[in-house]
Amino acid sequence: MRIAVLGGDGFVGWPTSLHLSNLGHEVHIVDNLSRRWIDTELGVQSLTPMDSIQERCRIWKQESGNTIHFHLLNLAKEYERLKQWLADHKPDAVIHFAEQRAAPYSMKTDRHKVYTVDNNVNATHNLLAALVETGIDAHLVHLGTMGVYGYSSVGAPIPEGYLDVEIDTPAGRKGMEILYPTRPGSVYHMTKSLDQILFQFYAQNDGLRITDLHQGIVWGTHTDQTRRHEQLINRFDYDGDYGTVLNRFLIQAAIGYPLTVHGTGGQTRAFIHIQDCVRCIELALSDAPKTGERVKIFNQMTETHRVRDLAQLVARMTGAEVRMLPNPRKEADENDLIVKNDQFLSLGLNPITLQEGLLAEVVDVAKKYAHRIDRSRVPAVSAWTKDIAKRVDHDPEGKKLKAV
């Protein structure tokens, strides 16, 4: 297949591009490299030394003999160029990672909220409008998030996108299947909830074939392809905005920083290893909906854990100390989470578990690159409201105390 990977320079986009190229697909990365600009804005960098996208593609060609094409394009702002690009390349599938993807970044200031909504909604909608206008019947695979479901405990397992409900009618009770009622917990998550409505409309009105992957929190760094050459390595974010919780615990352990748990740590979240992510995308591509079918929704996750349990797991493995901090987010202190992921399991997914993979990450990645960490970027300081901002701990290490 000819596959466009929008946002193919990112944390999941890059290993996905390698994985699909390795399977023999013709891969085109379309990216505006905004994530690299945000590194510059925040003054942070990937823990792993990351080459330019052009250099990455050159090394991949050298290692595998396969070409990955790169196209610099801003999906959200360059609608006409996007349309022309689609008309010129006629992809069989489009994988859409091209959205600002950090909840804390989306809540940092009003400017970041406005950017996230403007960028993410227009990126998705421009893509949909351009597919309709060019008449290209590509299978669109979108990276959503488990966060669209929200994390209030309803006491029932979270289904894959659609919920069976009953309502009262004058003729008695009646069953309906609806999109799971969304309860996003940040501006970022909210944009993925908006995406769902966009997809529902374009699948119904225009017969677009769309798969939406509600992904859990990704952990890990390497995939089979990123391991093949030092310069193919994936990015690894550890800062308070872009670092995901488990990867942050790993680097905190590696540099003798406390494992920072926010609130009670009773938040239960869904997780998936990066290697399983790219495998899921391969599986989703093989199982496209038909024209006129509703949006196909998968839960792309393999395990659920409470945050404090993960901290304890990493602490036991590494001897690190756990520190409980005020929560910069507005969210429930504690929640249960049971998630259905039968569809990917039935398609053959064989998950990598935390128990088996975690130690390798600490040794291969966190410790290896620990010298590149800027400790001052580790705290999570983007607060969900101004009131919450007042109680955020900007210095969990207590350097001030040490300096006395």
Give the number of residues written for the chain.
Answer: 404
Which is closer to a second copy, CB of 290 or CB of 386?
Answer: 386
Q: How far is the CB of 270 from a second copy (least distance, A)?
A: 19
The least distance separating a second copy from the CB of residue 194, rounded to whole angstroms, comes to 5
Phi, psi values for residue 358, rounded to 5°: -70, -40
Distance CA 112, CA 188 (A): 10
3-state helix, strand, coil in the chain (%, to 5): 40, 20, 40
Nearer to a second copy, 200 or 376 (CB): 200
Q: How far is the CB of 262 from a second copy (least distance, A)?
A: 16
Q: Which residue, 8 or 147, is less far from a second copy as judged by CB?
A: 147
**269 contacts 216 by C-beta, under 8 angstroms:** yes
- Cα torsion at 26, 32, 36, 37 (round to 10°)? 180
Q: Which one is catalytic: 48, 105, 108, 192?
A: 192
CB of 398 to a second copy, least distance (A): 30
The residue type at 93: A
Closer CB to a second copy, residue 174 or residue 399? 174
Q: Which is nearer to a second copy, 103 or 274 (CB)?
A: 103
- Three-state DSSP state, 276: helix
Which residue(s) pair with 262 in the sheet?
325
Nearest alpha carbon to residue 46 among 330, 383, 362, 369: 369
Find residue 187's DSSP bridge partners: none
- The DSSP code for 266 is B
Q: Which is nearer to a second copy, 94 or 311 (CB)?
A: 94
Least distance CB 26 / a second copy (angstroms): 26
Residue closer to a second copy (CB basis): 314 or 339: 339
Q: Which residues bind a second copy (CB under 8 A)?
A: 79, 83, 110, 113-114, 117-118, 121-122, 125-126, 129-130, 132-133, 135, 154-156, 163-171, 173-174, 176, 178-179, 181-185, 187, 190, 193-194, 197-198, 200-201, 205-206, 330, 384-386
Q: Which SS3 state, helix, strand or coil, does residue 339 take?
A: strand
Catalytic residue among 151, 180, 188, 242: 188
What is the smallest separation between the CB atom of 23 and a second copy, expressed in angstroms?
Answer: 33
**Closer CB to a second copy, residue 23 or residue 163?**
163
Cα separation, 390 vs 393, whole angstroms: 9
192 is catalytic: yes
d(CA 100, CA 124): 11
**Minimum separation from the CB atom of position 89 to a second copy (A):** 18
Choosing from 16, 48, 116, 145, the catalytic residue is 145
First to last CA, the chain: 63
List Cα–Cα distances, 213 to 31, 35, 43, 339, 352, in angstroms.
Answer: 20, 21, 31, 13, 18
CA atoms within 13 A on the CB side of 78: 13
Kindly report the three-state secondary structure assignment for every residue of 140-163. EEEEEEHHHHCCCCCCCCECCCEE
Q: Which long-range contacts (CB under 8 A, 24 or more apart) does 229-233 make?
A: 229/59, 229/60, 229/62, 229/63, 231/51, 231/55, 231/56, 231/59, 232/18, 232/56, 232/59, 232/60, 232/63, 233/48, 233/49, 233/50
Question: What is the nearest approach in angstroms of a second copy to the Cβ of residue 268?
Answer: 16
Q: Which residues are catalytic?
A: 145, 188, 192
